[in-house]
Chain A
Amino acid sequence: AQSVTQLDSHVSVSEGTPVLLRCNYSSSYSPSLFWYVQHPNKGLQLLLKYTSAATLVKGINGFEAEFKKSETSFHLTKPSAHMSDAAEYFCVVSDRRGAGNMLTFGGGTRLMVKP
């Protein structure tokens, strides 16, 4: 079984300050991990992915995440927040155990960016 826990349901930062969105996962297999972003009333956009290559993964819009197996974590960071980063962020795990490849979503973290 696989599961994802996003440790903060809401994060508020000031524009220009660093962003840290925390995620811990549980997986019986070698997992693939993803971060998706969802702006209000919009679909889900892939920010970045980890699939057993480099543990530090760079994504779009300046975001990156580090896979730490010993801590079962995959935290999302960005050095400097922008107003347009305000959205809901989902940490997602997939076991890659077959063609099913279902995604399991974390509960989401709402990022608010103050001017």
Chain B
Amino acid sequence: AAGVIQSPRHLIKEKRETATLKCYPIPRHDTVYWYQQGPGQDPQFLISFYEKMQSDKGSIPDRFSAQQFSDYHSELNMSSLELGDSALYFCASSFFTSGVYEQYFGPGTRLTVT
């Protein structure tokens, strides 16, 4: 079965640089979620999109922005990167319209800021 695809899998950036993470949800899934998992931490919700509209916002810094495109893939844009942004970034998708509430997670993008 198709899974959530994230790219790149690993990314190394320097402080003050920008980064773009991409997420391709499971086909027919209409909702995308972004989570950040710092070292030794549990995942923290950043933001979600339902049918290309932002549906919920968590602890996402103002330096970060995200959007969902017409093909339902999503991109998380991160600017003015800080050392503390080093983390594993997960994307998840669900088919909310069908009442499927569980979220299926991608493998994550490991971002290292040096």
A96 vs B56: C-alpha distance in the bound complex, in angstroms?
Answer: 12
Contact: A100 with B108, CB < 8 Å?
no
The A/B interface has a contact count, at CB < 8 Å, of 66
Which residues does chain B contribute within 8 Å of A36, judged by CB atoms?
105
What is the size, in residues, of chain B's interface with A at 8 Å between Cβ atoms?
25
The minimal Cβ–Cβ distance linking A35 to chain B, given in whole angstroms, is 11
Partner of B103, one of A99, A103, A107, A108: A103
Which of chain B's residues have a CB closer than 8 A to the CB of A108? 42
Say whether A99 contacts B55, CB under 8 Å. yes
Contact A100 B56 (CB under 8 A): yes
**Cross-interface CB contact of B45 among A44, A90, A102, cutoff 8 Å:** A102
- Which of B42, B51, B58, B94 touches A106 (beta carbons < 8 Å)? B42
Contact between A99 and B43 (Cβ–Cβ < 8 Å)? no
For window 62-114 of B, CB contacts with A under 8 Å fall at: 90, 92, 94, 96, 101-108
Who on chain A is nearest to B58 by CB? Answer: A102
A24 within 8 A of B: no
Total interface residues in chain A, CB < 8 Å: 24
**A93 CA / B105 CA spacing, docked (Å):** 15
- In the assembled complex, the Cα of A43 lies from the Cα of B108 at a distance in Å of 6
**For the complex, what is the distance from the CA of A90 to the CA of B108, rounded to whole Å?**
16
Interface centre among B42, B50, B104 (most CB of A within 10 A): B42
- For A94, give its contact among B50, B101, B107 (CB under 8 Å): B101
With contacts A32-B101, A49-B102 taken as known, whether A102 is within 8 angstroms of B56 at the C-beta atoms is yes
Complex interface: chain A residues within 8 A of B94 (CB) = 101
Q: How far is the CA of A101 from the CA of B33 in the complex (A)?
A: 9
Contact flags B43-65 to A (C-beta < 8 A → 1, else 0):
11100101100011010000000
Could you write out 10 A-B pairs with CB less than 8 Å apart? A44-B90, A46-B104, A99-B51, A101-B55, A101-B96, A102-B33, A102-B48, A105-B42, A106-B42, A108-B42
Q: Enumerate chain A interface residues (CB-CB to B < 8 A).
A: 32, 34, 36, 42-46, 49, 51, 90, 94, 96, 98-108
